[in-house]
Structure 1
Amino acid sequence: MIKNWRKYVGPGPLIAAAFIGPGTVTVCSMAGVNFGYELLWALLLSVIATIILQEMAARIGLITQKSLPEVMRAEIQTKAARIFALGLVIVAIVAGNAAYEAGNLSGAVMGLEAFLPQKTTSALGGYFRPLPLLTGLVAWGLLLSGNYRQIEWFMIGVVLIMSGVFLITAMAGKPHLPTLLKGLVPSVRADNILTIVALIGTTVVPYNLFLHSSLVSRKWKSTTTLRYVRADIFIAVILGGLVSMAILVTGTLSTAKQVEIITDLSKSLTPIIGSFAPYFLGIGLFSAGITSSITAPLAGGLVICSCFGWSNTLSSPPMRWTFSGILLLGVIFASLEIKPIELIAMAQLANGILLPVLSTFILWMVNKPEIMGKYKNHLLANILGIAIWVITLILGCKSILSVIQNWSL
């Protein structure tokens, strides 16, 4: 087994890479800047919630040998309910990923700018930033390779680099251990509740559930491999959680008042890790951006192809057209500095509805003995699952309220 360890590595690294994007770096950094170690418990909770939901989604994928959208098409008998569910999935995942892809590419570019200051050139009366296009081409080229394993191994390498950067940065500051451990004790106040929701929301990501179920059904075919499926996601999500915590610790060690560009954080960390701080953090931010730039269009392509019953192999025309479209929109938004506010608002609204609906569907599926057989949920798994469902409902309501409030302004 040790000799052939590579065949036991699954899509876990892609899942970890997907939720550690530029948005996570920003949210975790600001949580550290504003609240110190106080909200480490929220990240720990989000890691536990992610493991529970991802394990259920992966188990469904392994036992049924289908992705979640395919299972939804097969198991939701009422036509109106099926159309509503799949329509919601398409709007939330595809539109959302297209909108947020601009942020992923911009985050990767922000990291690159630590090494290569960007020149903005005028184009058609506006401004064009070339680095998002170059970064997008890298992501597109990897997806066009048509090789899932190649993408997985690329992700493993980048995630390890990103993990090393943020973990080393956090440890270099020699955080006070008793104070750090105190941050694992839950503390909820009026002034930190929005940040708590944001921290959980950046980790419990709906499109990861679709991505994971699809890739697990592609990677593993036998129920005897369930232990490898679980080990793969446990290790990957725990590692991702540690990276997120390291980013929060890094924010705590800094003296920055806001984190909008890499120099905000790197300048304040110069006394701790030296003059190469901008380059060190630039590598970390680029890694976070490039991995999310690949997983977002990949997940969008898998979802829409599964919803319509099309082939979801990377080399199939529907898959290529879909992920290329999502990438192209991201490149345009990022290169021309267009703010896709309405698209993001629509995606947030759909995600706010989708997350609790999807959690409900997953809990329903993993408790159906005619589908899952002996691999259905046991009592403890259901208790934990219901607790996570409550969290997703709170997150969903917060998303919906946030969009409504923004529209009313």
Structure 2
Amino acid sequence: MKLPQMGPAFLVTAAFIGPGTVISASLAGANFGFSLLWALLFSVIATIILQEMASRLGIVTQEGLGENIRLACKNKLLKVIALILTVSAIVIGNGAYQSGNILGASLGLTGIFSDIKLFSHISIWPLLIGILAFVILIMGSYKLIERALMVLVGLMSFAFIATFIISEPDLKSFFSGLFIPSIPSGASLTVIALIGTTVVPYNLFLHSSSVSKKWHSPKYLNEAKKDLYFSIPLGGLISIAIVSTAASAFFGKNISINNAADLAPALKPIFGDFSSIFIAVGLFSAGISSAITAPLAAAFALTGILNLSKDLNSYSFKLIWLSILLIGVIVSSLGYKPISIIWFAQIANGILLPLVSIFLLWIMNTDKLGEYKNNKLQNILGGIVVMITLLLSTRSLMSAFGML
């Protein structure tokens, strides 16, 4: 069977498999075993439903979701509200998540080479990772970015799936957790985290804009679908592998796992240096791939909503992604744990996800798409995803405000 040509959906996979996903998936497996795998299966299906719409929108209209939201909002008040919410959520959310991406990649390098300090207390890795992301983005070549992410996602896939195989999971518990939904006591926030790190609103902007750069006619819709149906499940498989590895290694064994930093050293006595290196490579690949796509997604989204040039070489496009990248490098280099910023990003994400999903569903039913607008089944599936994301976002917002 011929594999589909890798395309824009690979950027989506690279974006949602970041350190946040690694942390959430590790904690889910360590604390609840295989019982929450169904949440990842739902996340993959929901992501495919929404990203297919975003992809179709970008190819048919040759405009990203940002442009389509701006053009669809004829009412001035609605346009201002949409603009303020989108801009604030993307800038704050991507800036906060970018620091986590860089810290995650730094953790991976520390696991391989140990930490190297500048000025006695500042790690050198965030700066080097920021420079690497800058070099890839400043080249201004979509194909270069796409190929770099293919390599990183390939490394990440190999690292986490190989570690999953080494861990020899209980297959009965694995398939039970994957297909039989259950929420153990105290697991509701973990379910929200697993879904929230997979169904990411800025990926809708990233995907709709990137497909319009690669494919210029509706005749390529099937090619875009093949790209989507291969890349998104691959990302889900990586997440499932992380949960299963943590479940096999830590669940029920009284080993404390608080964050991704505990994952690599905790595996060392069980699987040896070989598995520890796999985890470190996976963390680095997850961090650096998301560190490239988060600024890129912010630039696509904001240039579209603000009616600026979305050419990768334009000054406005470069200024936006550079701002997000600098925020991430500075925050991650200070050595702080930006918990309050990440909680604020979660609030922004909670507001943005159902909002963007509703806008997307609305636009996909306009006459602008002609014969390519949503059919009845697509609307039903999209409506179900919107309702669930709205419920989850409300729960997430309530939790976030309770923590402030």
TM over 0.5: yes
SS at match of 2:186: coil
Question: Is 1:46 aligned with 2:43?
Answer: yes
Question: Match for 2:158: what amino acid?
Answer: G
Counterparts of 1:280 and 1:10, CA distance in 2? 26
Of residues 19, 22, 35, the one that matches 2:19 is: 22
Task: Report whether the alignment pairs 1:132 with 2:126.
Answer: yes
Cα deviation per residue 1:16-72 (whole Å; 9 max; x = unaligned)?
010000110011011000111111111000000000011111111111111111001
Is the 8 Å Cα contact of residues 9 and 232 (structure 1) preserved in structure 2?
A: yes
Residue in 1 that maps onto 2:327: 329
Query: 1:67 maps to what in 2?
Result: 64
1:340 positional shift: 4.3
How far 1:343 moved relative to its partner? Answer: 4.1
| 2:87 aligned to which of 68, 86, 90 | 90
2:239 is aligned to 244
Q: Give the corresponding residue for 2:314.
A: 316
Secondary structure in 2 aligned to 1:254?
A: helix
Contact in 1 for aligned 2:26/2:260 (Cα 8 Å): no
Aligned to 1:214: 209
Please give the alpha-carbon distance, in whole angstroms, between the structure 2 residues aligned to 1:354 and 1:134: 31
Pick from 136, 143, 148 the counterpart of residue 154 of structure 1.
148
Q: Which amino acid aligns with 2:173?
A: T
- Whichever residue aligns with residue 253 of structure 1, its letter is S
Q: 1:78: how far off? A: 0.3
* Distance in 1 (alpha carbons) for counterparts of 2:209 and 2:31: 38
CA displacement, residues 135-192 of structure 1 (integer Å, 9 cap, x when unaligned)? 1000000000110111101111110111011111111122121221111210124421
2:88–2:348 Cα contact (<8 Å) kept: yes
Name 1:389's counterpart in structure 2: 386
Equivalence map 1:9-408=2 (5 Å):
9-122=6-119, 127-184=121-178, 185-255=180-250, 256-262=255-261, 264-270=262-268, 272-341=270-339, 343-368=341-366, 370-407=367-404
State the aligned residue count. 399
Q: Is the 8 A contact 2:59 2:208 kept in 1?
A: yes
TM-fit CA distance, 1:350: 2.4
1:326-370 deviation digits (Å, cap 9, x = unpaired): 1111111011124445543443222212111111111111122x1
Find the aligned partners of 1:66 and 1:15 in 2 and give their Cα distance. 17
How much has 1:244 moved relative to structure 2?
Answer: 0.3
CA–CA separation in structure 1 for the residues paired with 2:260 and 2:41: 26
Q: State the distance in 2 between where 1:347 and 1:179 align.
A: 34
User: SS state of the match for residue 203, structure 1?
Assistant: coil
Q: Would you say the 8 A contact 2:30–2:246 is kept in 1?
A: yes
Q: Structure 2 vs 1, CA of residues 132 and 401 (structure 1 numbering), >3 Å: closer, same or farther? A: same
Is the 1:267–1:277 Cα contact (8 Å) retained in structure 2?
no
8 Å CA contact 2:23–2:260 kept in 1: the answer is no
- What is the letter of the counterpart of residue 242 of structure 1? L
Identity of aligned residues (%): 46
Structure 1 range deviating more: 253-262 or 48-57: 253-262
TM-score, scaled relative to structure 1: 0.93
Q: Provide the rounded CA distance (Å) in 2 between the counterparts of 1:246 and 1:73.
A: 39
Give unmatched runs, 5+ long, in structure 1. Answer: none
SS at match of 1:276: helix
Pair 42,341 (structure 1): closer, same or farther in 2 beyond 3 Å = closer
Q: Which structure 2 residue ranges, 5 or more long, are not aligned? A: none
Counterpart of 1:174 in 2: which secondary structure? Answer: coil
Shift of 1:128: 2.0
Secondary structure in structure 2 of the residue aligned to 1:62? helix
In structure 2, give the amino acid aligned to 1:133: L
> How far apart, CA to CA, are the structure 1 residues paired with 2:192 and 2:234?
21
> Distance between the aligned counterparts of 2:274 and 2:205, measured in 1?
39
* Alpha-carbon offset, residue 402 of structure 1: 2.4
Q: Within 1, Cα distance between the matches of 2:370 and 2:185?
A: 45
Q: Deviations over 1:290-326 (max 9, x none)?
A: 0010001111111121122111122111111111111
Q: CA RMSD in A?
A: 1.8
Q: Supply the AA of the counterpart residue of 1:250.
A: T
Range with greater deviation from structure 2 (350-359 or 37-46): 350-359
Give the conservation status (yes or no) of the 8 Å contact 2:103–2:126: yes
Deviation at residue 268 of structure 1 after TM alignment: 3.6
Conserved in 1, the CA contact under 8 Å of 2:92 and 2:348?
no
- The AA in structure 2 aligned to 1:36 is G
